[in-house]
């Protein structure tokens, strides 16, 4: 009986010791959690005991803390992004609205029919600019939705490029630019969305007209199983262009010359092209800025 009593006593002592250690660890974990709750820190829970179950619990809580930090970081980035969007949007819309208000006051005060017609034309132009800006913002918002998909079909990419480029004939004339055009012959069918292709090409061409000087080049070539479209234009201050930001939203290399634009054109073009499985990239060589898009040719 004496031996069994000793064994029972030892077992009881060990059990009590384990419970004490467990309790101390739980208290320490609670203190750590309380500290993490009150402070923004990357500290993690620690365990001083070589006990598998307890260490697994601590590791599990640490995983949840890491996930919580990522969610908090993502939420903060989204909030900052929303603030930036609102700030840029407010600035971009305020300019044509202010101008429109000024011309409206002139229209009301003018007794000259010729002046009134001029003011009306300017106001209509500002309204069109606002509509274009809002449409860009709407398109950009749709492209940010990962579940948004474009319906694709077989289309003649070469014909779409030809039609879109030559739809800008009047704009080229106004800027006294004679674009150089080098298009390969034949039909080049791809899987794409006609409206999205047209919109992306328009944004690329508008960017060339906005920032180009006197030289614009359009190239359409077949490279093995790919069709490549390139738009090149000369720029006045190439050092001011941040190539890492070219396709970023609201980026404007020269804000003074872009007060009627949201700065979303190339970002939208990139989103549309990539939604259809194409590629798009930009390059700057000396004072020549180029954008290239590519699609696989259908058999």
Residue range 58-66: mean pLDDT, rounded: 84
Q: Is 272 helix (H, G, I), strand (E, B) or coil?
A: helix
Please count the other Cβ atoms lying within 10 Å of the Cβ belonging to residue 32. 18
Per-residue pLDDT, 261:
58
Q: Is 262 helix (H, G, I), strand (E, B) or coil?
A: coil
Nearest to 140, CA basis, from 251, 258, 259, 255? 251
Contact residues for 147 (Cβ-Cβ < 8 A; gap 6+): none
pLDDT in tens, 248-272: 766 665 544 444 556 778 888 999 9
Binning pLDDT at 50, 70 and 90, where does residue 279 land?
A: very high
Q: For 169, which DSSP code? A: H
Extract the tokens encoding 187: 């039909």
pLDDT averaged over every residue in the chain = 82
Does the structure show a pLDDT above 90 at 156? yes
Per-residue pLDDT, 256:
42
Mark 270-290 as b/e (b = at least 16 C-beta within 10 Å).
bbbbebbebebebeeeeeebb
Residue bearing the bigger pLDDT, 212 or 287? 287
d(CA 114, CA 111): 9
Class of domain 153-296: alpha beta
Please count the other Cβ atoms lying within 10 Å of the Cβ belonging to residue 113. 8
Please count the other Cβ atoms lying within 10 Å of the Cβ belonging to residue 220. 19
Residue range 75-88: mean pLDDT, rounded: 71
Per-residue pLDDT, 68:
83
Helix (H) or strand (E) holding 232: strand 226-234
DSSP characters over 28-64:
HHHHHHHHHHHS---------S--HHHHHHHHHHHHH
Contact residues for 148 (Cβ-Cβ < 8 A; gap 6+): 142, 275
How many percent of the chain have pLDDT more than 70?
Answer: 90
Residue range 4-22: mean pLDDT, rounded: 75
Per-residue pLDDT, 27:
81
**Range among 86-100, 152-166, 262-276 with highest mean pLDDT value:** 152-166
Per-residue pLDDT, 13:
75
Q: Measured between alpha carbons, how far is residue 102 from residues 105, 150, 207 in Å?
A: 5, 41, 28
Helix (H) or strand (E) holding 182: strand 180-183
Binning pLDDT at 50, 70 and 90, where does residue 204 land?
A: very high
Phi-psi region of 136 (alpha: psi -120 to 50; beta: other; left: phi over 0): alpha
Binning pLDDT at 50, 70 and 90, where does residue 246 land?
A: confident
Residue range 6-15: mean pLDDT, rounded: 74
Q: Is 247:253 a contact under the CB 8 Å cutoff?
A: no
Per-residue pLDDT, 85:
65
Q: Is 75:105 a contact under the CB 8 Å cutoff?
A: no
Does the structure show a pLDDT above 60 at 1? no
d(CA 86, CA 188): 41
Binning pLDDT at 50, 70 and 90, where does residue 120 land?
A: confident
Does the structure show a pLDDT above 80 at 294? yes
Extract the tokens encoding 253: 């290399």
Class of residue 17 by CB neighbours under 10 A (exposed 0-12, middle 13-18, buried 19+): exposed
Per-residue pLDDT, 154:
92
Residue bearing the bigger pLDDT, 246 or 11? 246
């Amino acid at each position: 009986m004496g031996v069994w009593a000793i064994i029972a006593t030892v077992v009881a002592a060990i059990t009590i010791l384990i419970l004490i250690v467990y309790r101390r660890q739980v208290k320490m974990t609670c203190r750590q959690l309380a500290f993490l709750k009150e402070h923004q820190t990357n500290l993690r829970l620690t365990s001083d005991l070589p006990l598998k179950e307890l260490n697994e619990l601590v590791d599990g809580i640490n995983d949840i803390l890491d996930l919580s930090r990522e969610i908090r970081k993502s939420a903060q980035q989204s909030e900052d992004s929303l603030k930036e969007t609102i700030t840029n949007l407010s600035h971009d819309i305020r300019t044509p609205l202010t101008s429109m208000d000024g011309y409206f006051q002139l229209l009301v005060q003018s007794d000259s029919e010729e002046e009134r017609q001029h003011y009306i034309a300017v106001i209509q132009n500002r309204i069109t600019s606002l509509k274009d800006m809002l449409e860009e913002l709407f398109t950009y918002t749709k492209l940010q939705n990962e579940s948004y998909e474009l319906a694709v079909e077989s289309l003649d990419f070469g014909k779409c490029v030809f039609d879109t480029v030559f739809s800008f004939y009047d704009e080229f004339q106004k800027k006294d630019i004679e674009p150089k055009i080098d298009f390969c012959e034949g039909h080049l069918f791809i899987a794409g969305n006609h409206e999205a292709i047209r919109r992306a090409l328009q944004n690329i061409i508008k960017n060339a007209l906005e920032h180009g000087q006197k030289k614009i080049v359009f190239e359409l070539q077949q490279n093995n199983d790919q069709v490549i479209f390139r738009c090149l234009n000369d720029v006045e201050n190439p050092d001011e262009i941040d190539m890492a930001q070219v396709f970023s939203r609201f980026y404007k290399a020269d804000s003074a010359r872009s007060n009627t634009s949201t700065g979303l054109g190339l970002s939208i073009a990139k989103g549309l092209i990539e939604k259809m499985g194409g590629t798009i990239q930009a390059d700057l060589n000396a004072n020549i800025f180029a954008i290239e898009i590519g699609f696989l040719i259908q058999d």
